[in-house]
């Protein structure tokens, strides 16, 4: 598991510089992609048996279609942008 620098807590997007805003937005996007890829790995790739790269490609595309039909829903974002207190 890679170690990521923490997102600065207590900093709202309106208070931050444009570079910080861009980094925060990029981190959010990367984490959502990581979340979706983890679903793909758990549901398909971990126990998959693929005879060729074409077979793998077809099964991934079939899984994407199935996921979009049956499981897709907006991810619930729980972070409120406020500092966490211990």
Q: What would the pLDDT profile of 7-30 be if each residue is shown by its tens digit?
A: 555 555 555 566 766 776 777 788
**Number of structural domains in the chain:** 1
Q: Is the dihedral of CA 37, 43, 49, 55 positive or negative?
A: negative
Return phi, psi of residue 57, to 5°.
-60, -45
Residue 36's domain comprises 18-71
- Averaged pLDDT of the chain: 78
Give the least confident one: 8-12, 69-73, 74-78. Answer: 8-12
CA 40 to chain CA mean position, Å? 11
Residue 4 domain-assigned?
no
Residue 85 domain-assigned?
no
Residue 44 domain-assigned?
yes
Is residue 41 within 8 Å of residue 33, measured between CB atoms? no
Residue 51 domain-assigned?
yes
């Amino acid at each position: 598991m890679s170690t990521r620098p923490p997102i600065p807590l207590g900093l709202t997007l309106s208070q931050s510089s444009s570079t910080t805003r861009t980094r925060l937005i990029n981190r959010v996007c990367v984490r959502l992609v990581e979340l979706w890829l983890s679903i793909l790995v758990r549901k398909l790739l971990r126990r998959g048996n693929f005879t060729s790269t074409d077979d793998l490609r077809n099964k991934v595309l079939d899984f994407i279609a199935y996921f979009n039909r049956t499981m897709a829903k907006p991810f619930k974002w729980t972070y409120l942008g406020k500092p966490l207190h211990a």
